[in-house]
Amino acid sequence: MSRRLTLVDAMGLGPAWYPRGTYPQAEAEAPLATAAAQPVYGESATLLPPQENKPAVPTPAPPAQSEPAAVAPGVAAQPTPQLGWAALAQTVAACQACPLAATRRQTVFGRGNPEARWMLVGEAPGEQEDRQGEPFVGRAGQLLDNMLAALGLDRERDVYIANVIKCRPPGNRNPEPAEIATCRGYLDAQIAHVKPDIILALGRFAAQTLLGSNETIGRLRGREHRLGDIPLVATFHPAYLLRSPSEKARAWQDLLLACRLLG
């Protein structure tokens, strides 16, 4: 962890995005299976201490490959390890494997540096993400950028951001299990390509999906998990922090934990 972060944390100041004042009681986040939950979907991202950033490099052009065919309806996509990054993005864009393809404007593949040490995984695109084709572009995205900036990070240079689901569920509803299963292969392929040194799961849906857990985000956050051999830290989704600003202090501790795990 950088000397700057150590001093900020030791002084109890927290990040710049943590406002002073009294905050309302934070709402509890229910398990994924709770039907009454109405999450506000947003995007994802990634973090890393500035002194250990991978150098910003342009994404290498993949070997020439044939245009991937659209995935047939009802058939779960199974990207192969040999599928290049550009071909993977094209496959996602052409996917028709679940009913979400009929209601989306476009898919949201991801954003950032595909060689970053940090990978942020969010939940599903919201309305603005569906319009613009990028993760975390609304108010939650602005907060996420501020969170990253407090660590000296930039979303384009230092992290890669992806979502569990690549298409917006109508009305921002929770994705169905079949939709999750269809999209999971895409996320796994992205993780395999990026090879991050750490994953930050943003929100209960992302954390529960990656960890195969039904525990609440309140129970999953604040400790180290593993996705294979990759350290994983779960924290609150930025959209939840907008609704419950008193939880920003705990989110900051999660970011510091992620930095410590990187050494």
- Phi/psi at 57 (5° precision): -130, 150
H helices, E strands: number in the chain: 9, 6
Q: Taking a C-beta distance cutoff of 8 angstroms, is the pair 246, 209 a contact?
A: no
Domain total for the chain?
1
Confidence of residue 130 (pLDDT cuts 50, 70, 90): very high
What is the pLDDT confidence band of residue 201, given thresholds at 50, 70 and 90?
very high
Percentage with pLDDT > 70 across the chain: 70
Q: For the ranges 81-85, 97-101, 109-113, which has the lowest average pLDDT? A: 81-85
- How many Å is the maximal CA-CA distance in the chain? 57
Segment 2-53, tens digit of pLDDT? 555 554 554 344 555 654 443 333 334 444 433 333 333 333 333 333 334 4
Average pLDDT of span 215-227: 98
The pLDDT of residue 177 is above 90: no
Give the pairing of strands 198-202 and 224-227.
Answer: unpaired
> For residues 263 and 236, which has the higher predicted lDDT (pLDDT)?
236
20 located within any domain: no
Report CA Rg, the chain: 18
CA-based nearest residue to 121, from 31, 183, 71, 214: 183
Q: Does 26 fall in a domain?
A: no
Are residues 201 and 230 in contact, defined by beta-carbon separation less than 8 angstroms? no
- At residue 158, the 3 state secondary structure works out as coil
In this structure, is residue 159 part of a structural domain? Answer: yes
Structural domain contains residue 11: no
Q: Is residue 138 part of a domain?
A: yes
Contact 178, 150 (CB under 8 A): no
Q: Which domain holds residue 171?
A: 39-51+74-262
* pTM for the full predicted model: 0.76
In a domain, 59, yes or no: no
Q: Which residue has 């951001």 as its token pair?
A: 161
Cα separation, 215 vs 66, in Å, equals: 42
Collect all residues with Cβ–Cβ distance below 8 Å to 8 and sequence separation of at least 6: 14, 15
Average pLDDT, integer, range 125-142: 95
Domain presence at residue 21: no
243 belongs to a structural domain: yes
Among residues 216, 187, 181, 178, which one has the least CA distance to residue 37?
216
Q: Give the number of residues written for the chain.
A: 263
Residue range 56-90, pLDDT digits in tens? 444 444 333 333 334 444 444 567 667 899 999 99
CATH number, domain containing residue 248:
3.40.470.10
